[in-house]
Chain A
Amino acid sequence: MNDFHVYIRKTNLNWLVRMAFRDGRASSRRLVLFMASIVLGIAAVVSIQSFSENLKESIQGQSKALMGADYLIDSNQSPNETVLSIIDSLGGAQAKEVKFVSMAAFPKGNTTKLIQVRGIEGDFPFYGELETTPESAGREYARENGALVDATVMLQFQLQKGDSIKIGNLTFPIIGSLKSAPGSTAISASVAPPVIIPYHFIEATGLLQKGSRVGYNYYFTAKADTDLDKLYQEVDPKLDLENADMDTHVQTSQRLGRRYENVGKFLNLVAFIALLLGCVGIASSVHIYIKEKLKTVAVLKCLGATRKQTFLIYLIQIITLGFIGGLLGALAGLALQQLFPIIFQEFLPFEVQVTLSAQPVILGLLLGISMSVLFALSPLLGTWYVSPLQVLRIQEGVNTKFRKMSVFVMVLILIFVYLFSFWLLKSWSLALAFVLGIVVTFSVLSGIATLFMKFIKKFFPSSWGFIARQSLLNLYRPNNQTMVLILAIGVGTFLISTLYFTKDILLAKTTLDESNQNPNIILLDVQTQQKEDIVNSLVPKGFPIIDNIPIVTMRLHSIKGREINDMRSDSVTTMNKWILYHEFRVTYRDSLVASETLMEGEWVAENNQIDKPIPISLSDNVAADAQVTLGDIIVFNVQGVLMETVVSSIRKVDWARMQLNFSIVFPKGVLENAPQFNILTTNVGDESSSAQLQRELVRRFPNVSIIDLRQVITIIEGILDKISWAINFMALFSIFTGIIVLIGSVRNSKYQRIKESVLLRTMGARSQQILKITALEYLYLGVLGSSTGILLSLLGSQLLAVFVFETSFVPAMEPFSILLPGITLLVLAIGLFNSRSVIRSSPLQVLRKEMG
């Protein structure tokens, strides 16, 4: 049959494309709906991808401006001689800064606020700028001995240029409002907004006292030919030994990039879910579309078309749809990414330059084509296996080869989804977890849909009235859309309610117990000599001292007999090195607190033995990072005095609890005479009393920092709100995709529904009865889909609460009381709206319009 090959060659691509077009034009509306299913998903993926790229480029492009210098040397303690000589050897710092958190008072409105003081000397920043209003304020504040105050604070307290701010013992005129500055992040600024003053005033503020957490930064510029990496390799190890550190602008931007990359990855997954949901819609629509086309395929085969030709005709249609869907999605994504700098502006300490590039368009096209083809492949294979005999008689039953190929296609889809997830997440295990999560969610939803249909079949309520029975029958009729509708509704609901529950879990951890037994005000950096005065000013006003926690700062000297300096230079050690450089804030007490549970060993309340090492308690994370267990000897350097201790117990600490937690706790009877400062806590009834107390304390004890937990919670809520807004924004794509899939499914089943409606009408059914049947059908689907989605999300949230957030989870009622009826009504509305032509028209009209 040599003729055969000639024949195949002759029927060229042109004819296949022409046939694909001819066949598709009559179904253009339906095909547009298939396409729409993936447009939003692709738009979401492309926009996030593109924005992530822009973010990376912006961070790289602005790395110097983000740091304000080429590199810096920083330390959490006043630099010693060695550090200063290293700084000198580098040509001396061009600018230096000291920063710490403190209270500030604003005489204008008699208000106070926790701020971050940044004392700067020199022409910092060397790159980028202090963005201020008026514009000249950044250059003038030092000359005018004034302060630049965070723009939000200016707004909050209605401050103007010329008003004053009191920091410690000094009052500064406000020279301008500070919109942005290198080295300030958006999130930290929301807790303690920055205020910049000239460096030489810091000492005079009187705020640098014992226990103050102070950061010292020395900024440098480098010559153009300086190899910063090489410089880092040379200098940083020397600085490490002196509890100082070097950071280059490249490292800082890489760190920042990684942080945003993680957020980007998460948002990418949310976007990818939207795309997958759209693909499920495509698979379902193509399944019905091809099923309706099988007769046409059989006729074509009768006329002499080969299996390959008929398969290619429909493959070309799908590729074209995927291409157009991908292109539209990519263009929509590019348009959408223009919004992202606005959506994420709260989190970005820099300006993102939104640029357009070809890469996202290519990504969109590839995704559009590959996802459409993959998900349509299984139904498309139906054209390959259909016999031309279908022209003469309908053949039931599924070809075994077809079944095998469908399994193969399913494996292909899973591999593709896995590889794409890996590309997004850059982690094999995370990608696997994501794919497993998707498979479980989709399987549970489709399993429930199948069980539901089987259940109705088996226990069909024959005694029900005609309308109720007919609507139930519709759920498992041939070509029913029950599965895909439950998937679309379920996944959408699952996403929304999981986001809701997760936010709930996070907020629940920050909730304050309103009883007056629990502290809501924390006073930090209380010096020993101030303690009595502060207590005396609180207690008579009815503010009880709930906690009086002594703090002693110390560093590690040796662990298990090995000196820290030796361990610092050990490149082979697997120990977490932060331990070696950290200045620990340690307390002493005789009992565990509510956020602690003893995991191992014995809790020692008081130390009475003088000759033996002091028994201490470590938190489990510090014990793990320091690689120590019970009985190991640790020597601490307590401000010049070496103290030998032994690990006598290991505690689990709930760090997320709104209270003061410590990684190292000494027993009583050891540190009482060591230089120390205190943290006091109290409970203040309402916000105005709190503000009044803060004003008084700031006036009398300017070095004491006051944290009002209620305000912190408001800030955390605000941050979570912003984050959840961004996530919800991405989740919207899934929801809208779900709606499109829903519309597509309803319209797909419309053709079948019309036949039934027409038959029912000719037998005398009234419009209202048909309307009720349709409404009931969508009601069942809406209730089942949304309740399954919510229940799945309950399970998912419970798992998240236990394994990720390590907390208990009490579900809120909103998803049940708002989401369930809301989504059900939406499904009902979409179902009825898209079936209105079936319900309204006369049988003959419907037959002519829809079947013709």
Chain B
Amino acid sequence: MAKILNVHNLKKTYKSGDRELTVLDEISFAIEEGDTFAIVGPSGSGKTTLLGLCAGLDQIDSGTIELCGSELGTIDEDQRALLRNRHVGFIFQDFQLLPTLTALENVSVPLELQSGKNAGIKARELLGKVGLADRIHHYPSQLSGGEQQRVALARAFSNSPSILFADEPTGNLDEETGEKVVDLLFELNKEAGTTLVIVTHDLELAKKNQHILRLKGGKIVANGNIVLS
């Protein structure tokens, strides 16, 4: 299988006052198309930073990241935006729906950005799949947390991404709702054949993936396949 994400010798530092903090160091790994991949680790281990870098949301200090055939260090922000729009989907812990847009409009945005025709039809279809057909004209503030995350799921899959990054997708949900959302995520992912990268500290959720990468203090402490019991 081809590699959809290839990270080599990645390093990232941040300035905190006069000090320079190394958040990620010597990070190398690869993800094959269609894989499900979990990044786990304690708070402050660099999980979210790694996800941001892999998705082209931030710039690396050294090393390389190749995402969907493009080396992120060599393209500018607008080209990365195009790459994200064409190939990447996102799910965030706090949903990050646009508060001024209805559920339908939120899901339509990635498609509209592609100038895709029938954005509305496809968005309705996806909202139907996540069980929100009757809530399409509601604003995020009129939806519960679980419903908001389902809208976010529909939005993440709307542009038929090659790879989907999920940052703590159940972090803001209760256990029962979280489980439902996770089930839906894996179901949609399976259906679309998308590569899935989940950042989580929930080991149960991590175990649902084919691969787990463990981070600690900004370094990889384990990278391997899950032994399915």
Contact = CB atoms under 8 A, between A and B. Distances in A.
Interface string B143-164: 0000000000001000100000
Interface in A816-844: none
B203 interface: no
Given A10-B114, A388-B57, 17 more contacts: A3-B86, A11-B114, A12-B115, A15-B112, A18-B112, A24-B100, A26-B99, A26-B100, A301-B77, A302-B90, A303-B84, A303-B85, A303-B90, A303-B109, A304-B86, A304-B114, A304-B159
Contacts of B51: 392
B98 A296 contact: yes
Given A10-B114, A11-B115, A305 B58 contact: no
B85 A7 contact: yes
A392 B48 contact: yes
B99 A296 contact: yes
B37 interface: no
A188 interface: no
B78 A15 contact: no
A389 interface: yes
8 closest A-B pairs (Cβ-Cβ)?
Answer: A304-B85, A10-B115, A26-B100, A306-B78, A852-B141, A389-B57, A388-B57, A389-B58
Interface string B75-117: 1011101101110101010001111110001000110111100
Interface string B28-57: 000000000000000000001001100101
Contacts of A26: 99-100, 139
Contacts of B84: 302-304, 388
B66 interface: no
Contacts of A391: 57, 90, 92, 96
Given A25-B100, A302-B84, A852-B141, A15 B113 contact: yes
Interface string A1-29: 10110011011100100110011111100
A304 B110 contact: yes
Contacts of B77: 301, 306-307
B112 A22 contact: no
B79 A1 contact: yes
A7 B82 contact: yes
Residue from A19, A303, A387 with most neighbouring chain B CB atoms (10 Å): A303
Contact of B57 (A10, A15, A387): A387
Contacts of B139: 26
Contacts of B105: 22
Given A10-B114, A10-B115, A302 B57 contact: yes
A546 interface: no
Interface in B156-178: 159, 167
Interface of A: 1, 3-4, 7-8, 10-12, 15, 18-19, 22-27, 295-296, 299-309, 387-389, 391-393, 851-852
A98 to B, nearest CB: 78
A581 B69 CA distance: 92
A26 B139 CA distance: 10
Contacts of B112: 11, 15, 18
A309 B48 CA distance: 26
Interface residues of B, number: 37
A23 B88 CA distance: 24
Residue from A7, A8, A11, A25 with most neighbouring chain B CB atoms (10 Å): A7
A371 B1 CA distance: 57
Given A1-B75, A303-B90, A304-B86, A392 B81 contact: no
Contact of B81 (A15, A25, A295, A304): A304
A8 B77 CA distance: 13
A10 B55 CA distance: 23
A293 to B, nearest CB: 9
Residue from B75, B115, B139 with most neighbouring chain A CB atoms (10 Å): B115
Contacts of A300: 98, 109
A840 B114 CA distance: 47
A19 B101 CA distance: 9
A7 B86 CA distance: 10
Contacts of A392: 48, 51-52, 57, 92, 167
Nearest to A388: B57
B101 to A, nearest CB: 5
Given A304-B84, A388-B57, A4 B101 contact: no
Nearest to B105: A22
Residue from A4, A27, A388, A852 with most neighbouring chain B CB atoms (10 Å): A388
Contacts of B86: 3, 304
Residue from B57, B84, B139, B141 with most neighbouring chain A CB atoms (10 Å): B57
Contacts of A3: 82, 86
A642 to B, nearest CB: 89
Contacts of B114: 7, 10-11, 304
Contacts of B99: 26, 296
A218 B98 CA distance: 80
B91 to A, nearest CB: 11
10 contacts: A4-B78, A11-B113, A23-B98, A23-B101, A27-B100, A296-B98, A304-B88, A305-B85, A388-B57, A392-B51
B113 A304 contact: yes
A305 B96 contact: no
Nearest to B116: A10
Interface string B57-76: 11000000000000000010
Nearest to B89: A303
Residue from A3, A8, A389, A393 with most neighbouring chain B CB atoms (10 Å): A389
